[in-house]
């Protein structure tokens, strides 16, 4: 076994992996903004992403998406869950 492969295997076995997305100050600011657009917004943290779920219009979700990208967060755009519900994935 090559040294780099052995080191990688050891590192993977001993390192503790995070299972939730990190919510930093940029994300906290974005979450506060989401709640100004819709006080009933639901925030869920996944493994790598945070979800803002429950925007009532595409325009609300787009405003949030634009706010995120302008204020230090990465997004994956707006997702339409059903006819009147929109979600945004960000970190």
How big is the chain by its Cα radius of gyration, in Å? 17
Is the predicted pLDDT of residue 12 greater than 60, yes or no? Answer: no
Per residue in 24-46, pLDDT tens? 899 999 999 999 999 999 999 88
Q: Is the pLDDT of residue 8 over 70?
A: no
Domain ranges across the chain: 18-90
Query: Does the pLDDT at position 78 exceed 70?
Result: yes
- Is residue 65 pLDDT above 70, yes or no? yes
Residue 87 bridge partners (DSSP): 53, 79
Tell me if the pTM is above 0.85.
no
Q: Is the pLDDT of residue 10 over 80?
A: no
Supply the pLDDT for residue 11.
41
Residue, of 21 and 34, whose pLDDT is higher: 34
pLDDT at 59 over 70: yes
């Amino acid at each position: 076994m090559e040294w780099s492969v052995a080191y990688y295997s050891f590192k993977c076995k001993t390192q503790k992996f995070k299972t939730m997305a990190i919510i930093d100050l940029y994300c906290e600011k974005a979450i506060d903004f989401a709640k100004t657009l819709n006080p009933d917004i639901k925030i869920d943290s996944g493994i790598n992403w945070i979800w803002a779920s429950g925007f009532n219009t595409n325009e609300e979700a787009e405003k949030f998406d634009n706010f995120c990208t302008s204020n230090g967060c990465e997004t994956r755009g707006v997702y339409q869950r059903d006819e009147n519900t929109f979600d945004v994935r960000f970190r």
